[in-house]
Amino acid sequence: MDWLAHVGFVWFTSLAWIGGLVVVFLLLTRFTPCNPGQSWWADPRAAVTDLVYWLVLPLVMQVARVLLLVGGVLLLYGAVPENTDWVVRRWPIWVQIVAVLLIQDVILYWLHRLFHTRAGWRFHAVHHSPEVLDWTSTQRFHPVNAILEFAVADVAVLLMGFSPDALVLIGPLNMAYSVMVHANLNWTFGPLRYVLVSPVYHRWHHTAAEEGRDRNFASTFPFLDLLFGTCHMPVGKRPEVYGTADGDVPRGFVGQTVYPFRGAGAWARRHPVMATTGGLAVAAGIAFGVMKLTQPVEPTPTSVVEVTMAKPAPAELPPLPARGMASSVAVSVHRSQVFLGGADGTLTIRGADGGEQAIAAHMQRANALAVSPDDALIVTGGGDGTARVWSAESGQPLRTLRGHGAAVMSVAVAADGWVTTGSADGVVRVWDATGELVGVHRTGVPAPVHAVAVAAGGGRVVAAQLSTAFLWDAPADKTTPLTGQTALAYAVALSPDGTTAVTAGYDGRVKVWDAGGRCTSELLGHDGPVYAVAFTRDGQRLVTGGKDGTVRVWRTGGELVRELGGHTGLVFAVSADDAGRRIAAAGKDGTTSVWQVPDGEVVPASATAPGK
């Protein structure tokens, strides 16, 4: 099973860390101990407890980060408009790393102080319980303490717009640094003692002596303690005793896990209403989680997916939206229509004359929209985990595609009606023109597949997930990574014959890939992120649009054919006819622009603002 393999990998990684650290710190503490004679192996029972934490806590933290990141992902790709200018993501990665370290340390400082209050101390006392303090105690955190400090700090910087790559690079650095500051080392960092936390500095935080109590909360930068008046670093003196003054903290993992909840029965008897309400809420949450985990969300490739021909009952769907910034947008060059997905799940079809048709499409946010190359079909993807196929001409629903266990974040439809969908749980699905599920691919990464494209016949799919992208041969269930895609690929496209893929990134680069996953050319010219990319129907040219408000036409070999200006605002959708002589662009505010390109000239044909 996949989860067993993952657990095994986490344990192997933890044991590899432990093995390497044993060797390193046996040497270091032999020559520069802060407290000679205090070694982790002096207390075998404590050493066993620490080993259990090393094996359990990484798994707990991964699950917690996934759950928190699901919320973050929905904010980044759903609840927050994608035209948000994540200026920090354009900083050099080393600048992002320094900024993340500083921001996280400020967050952790105050969370750390919170856990030293009466409300949080019983959780944090677990970390302070070792009477022999050494590097092995690094992972000894109560799960509630670890989740509320470290997982929250990670999610916070992601919601600020920093690249996930920064966190990936910081992870091993943070682990190594945390191990070092807990080690029994007589290091103060001399003139840098107030710039970086040293082992001696942090040992004063762990001392059981009164003089060090509630001091030195910073994890990385001691100047935070100086700023907030909690610094304690006496020159020439070292702490000698460690642990807590509580005296009742259990020594084993299980006992420490339940330790903060002792006395809950007495509290419940004193507060029966609150206890009953809380118990029901927890029970409901557990029941919902079990339901979600046990429901069959993975039909076999040959199973028949429910086809809904009738329009959903209005009572099951939200009211029609007021005008505003859309969640998703698509444009039809032939029909001169723009399609807008609403935050409340509605689909709005707007014509060139300003007329509108508003349709209740999803129970939750309409995250994704796509139009077929012949402009006959619309596909929507919603936060309710479904995708729906609609007639572009009549706005009537044709079928509902069910099976995703999380929000549908991206959709695409080929000329023959084949559909591919990507969801927030990292799963890609392919459906034939009748709505039957014919292929499923799990990326193995619990992050949203936020861009997809599919070729006619459903045989080839290109998908983007965070800063990676890949080709998927659905019939053979074979994936080919697009090695070299390092920035978040906001949009992807696939040539009509499925042999050429394109990724458009936040770094302003548009990359062209062959069927083997090799980058054959880079299209440079956009100033800022590129949000939209589409092939002309003959597959010979590309159209791109982005933050700079321009639309560009390229040959797939990398040559810029022409640049189209005049669009108002950011471009989030583009569409072109067979030879690229008629091109349309749209923004999430509903503004559309259409260009006629006869005989090599560039002539804006129309520009339609919302309601006009």
Decide which of 84 and 147 is more confident. Answer: 147
CB burial string 146-158: b at 16+ within 10 A, e below: bbbbbbbbbbbbb
Highest mean pLDDT (candidates 6-10, 51-55, 188-192, 300-304) = 188-192
Decide which of 208 and 445 is more confident. Answer: 208
Domain layout of the chain by residue ranges: 2-262, 271-295, 327-533
What are the backbone dihedrals phi and psi of residue 272, each rounded to the nearest 5 degrees, phi first? -60, -40
Angle, alpha carbons 57-61-64 (nearest 5°): 140
Residue 360: how many other CB atoms lie within 10 Å: 20
CA distances from 123 to 35, 111, 119, 144, 259 (A): 27, 12, 9, 7, 8
Q: Say what the pLDDT of residue 275 is.
A: 45
CA distances from 164 to 30, 51, 96, 107, 212 (A): 38, 29, 10, 18, 36
Band of pLDDT at residue 19, cut at 50, 70 and 90: confident
Hey, is 29 helix, strand or coil? helix
pLDDT of 272 > 70? The answer is: no
Contacts of 222 (CB under 8 A, 6+ apart): 193, 194, 195, 196, 197, 201, 216, 231, 233
From the number of C-beta atoms within 10 Å of its C-beta (0-12, 13-18, 19+), residue 307 rates as middle
pLDDT (tens digit per residue) in 27-53: 888 889 999 888 877 788 888 998 888
From the number of C-beta atoms within 10 Å of its C-beta (0-12, 13-18, 19+), residue 495 rates as buried
What are the backbone dihedrals phi and psi of residue 576, each rounded to the nearest 5 degrees, phi first? -140, 155
Q: Say what the pLDDT of residue 411 is.
A: 96
Q: Rounded to whole angstroms, how far apart are CA atoms 452 and 463?
A: 4
> How big is the chain by its Cα radius of gyration, in Å?
28
Mean pLDDT of 162-171: 78
pLDDT of 164 > 80? The answer is: no
pLDDT (tens digit per residue) in 85-127: 457 877 888 899 999 999 999 999 999 999 999 889 999 999 9
In 150-290, the DSSP E strands lie at none
CA of residue 498 relative to chain centroid, distance? 28
pLDDT (tens digit per residue) in 452-465: 999 988 889 999 98
> In the predicted model, what is the mean pLDDT of the chain?
80
pLDDT of 500 > 50? The answer is: yes
Q: Rounded to whole angstroms, how far apart are CA atoms 591 and 604?
A: 14
Mean pLDDT of 275-298: 39
Decide which of 171 and 265 is more confident. Answer: 171
CA of residue 392 relative to chain centroid, distance? 32
pLDDT (tens digit per residue) in 300-357: 222 222 222 222 222 333 333 434 567 788 988 877 888 999 888 899 988 877 788 8
Phi/psi region, residue 313 (left: phi>0; alpha: psi -120 to 50; beta: rest), is: beta
Q: Quick one: what percent of the chain has pLDDT higher than 70?
A: 81
Instruction: Please state which of the four CATH numbers 3.30.1380.20, 2.40.50.140, 3.40.50.720, 2.130.10.10 is assigned to the domain occupying 327-533.
Output: 2.130.10.10
Q: What is the DSSP string of 216-228?
A: ---SS-THHHHHH
How many residues does the structure list for the chain?
612
pTM, whole model, 2 decimals? 0.53
pLDDT of 173 > 60? The answer is: yes
CA torsion sign for 240, 246, 247, 252 is negative
pLDDT of 283 > 80? The answer is: no
Q: Rounded to whole angstroms, how far apart are CA atoms 368 and 573?
A: 11
Tokens of 226: 């100086």
